[in-house]
Amino acid sequence: MTATMADVAREAGVSASTVSRVFSLPETVRDDTRQRVLAVARRLDFTPNRAASSLARGRTRTLGLLVPDVVNPYYAEIVKTVQHRARAKDHALFLADTGDDPADGFELARAMARQTDGLLLAGPRMTDDMVRELARSGPVALIGAQLAETDSAYAELSTGMRHVVRHLAALGHSRIVYVNGTRTARTVGHRRPVQEVCDEYGVELVEQLGPFDLTFDNGVAAADLVPTSRATAVIAHNEMVAHGVAYGLARQGRSVPGDFSLVTVDDTFMARTIHPALTALHIPIDVMGARGVDLLLQRIADPDAEPRHAALPTSLVVRASTGRPGGGAAS
């Protein structure tokens, strides 16, 4: 016969509500009492009904994750790490691809919020006001983006861009072109400091190309404009764009890094599989996704806490796509 919560409570000398809290809110139960209840539960082979417990507390034990492009390897890696972390925290995950339209993403997020305990917005294309409205209605955390009033886990890109520019300047590049992302991408604001870094190192930043939607085809289109910039190095907004730039330059009969050095931001597996392998500003996607889940669960447990922000360091990974102007190898 299967043991019940009442059986555990009777054997442990506590109330049924205490047994329930041991399995649902263990931090609210004294350690000695919690250990006694767990010992009895193991002896009786008691397994709590998590679904019933969640319903009793008004919880679904599910989280919603919204990404703008699930095909993009950057977001695919976020999905993987978020799902892994959510599962480790005993939560299921609902996934939605919002596309680039802010209004569509907002409506999809509102619908998902009614079915989950909280929302994770990865690189949301929504406006700040839309994100704030969602956060006023329920728990929300951002991944790969930052908003002062909302919990967020993001890469500290200003310092990373400094490393990129310093690397290119050390190779002898004095003119750099930056292939910009769509203006609805919230990370654009974090990458604008590249102008300040160029000024500091005496490097001319050619008028930024874009904004472009973050696709391979738009990278190809940007490549058509690169030679007219008279720059010798290109920084691409992300890997999808960088792949398109490399392909477009090759189609013109130009080489990387012989004619143009190329740096990307993200550093998923794609940076290593293209030829030549891409020098990249590495973003710790696995850590960022996991921290986003943790922040959201903390928000669910404590809705009135001050917003928490996790700024994660980036690092420059030098590969074969950067060299000296005129084709000299990087040392």
Q: Read off the pLDDT of each residue in 118-123 and give the average, rounded to a whole number.
A: 96
What percent of the chain stands above pLDDT 90? 66
Q: How confident is the model at residue 196 (pLDDT cuts 50, 70, 90)?
A: confident
Question: How many C-beta neighbours within 10 Å does residue 44 have?
Answer: 15
| pLDDT (average), residues 252-260 | 96
Q: Which tens digit of pLDDT belongs to each residue from 48-98?
A: 765 455 555 567 889 999 999 999 999 999 999 999 999 999 899 999 999
Confidence grade of residue 331 (pLDDT, cut at 50, 70, 90): very low
Indicate whether 99 pLDDT > 50: yes
Residue 221 host element (H or E): helix 216-223
Neighbours of 88 (CB within 10 A): 10
Could you tell me the two tokens for 179? 């292939």
Q: Indicate the Cα dihedral angle 240, 151, 195, 210, nearest 10°.
A: 40
pLDDT, one tens digit per residue, over 168-190 is 999 999 999 998 876 555 554 44
Q: Letter for the amino acid at 183?
A: R
Q: For residue 317, what pLDDT is reported? A: 97
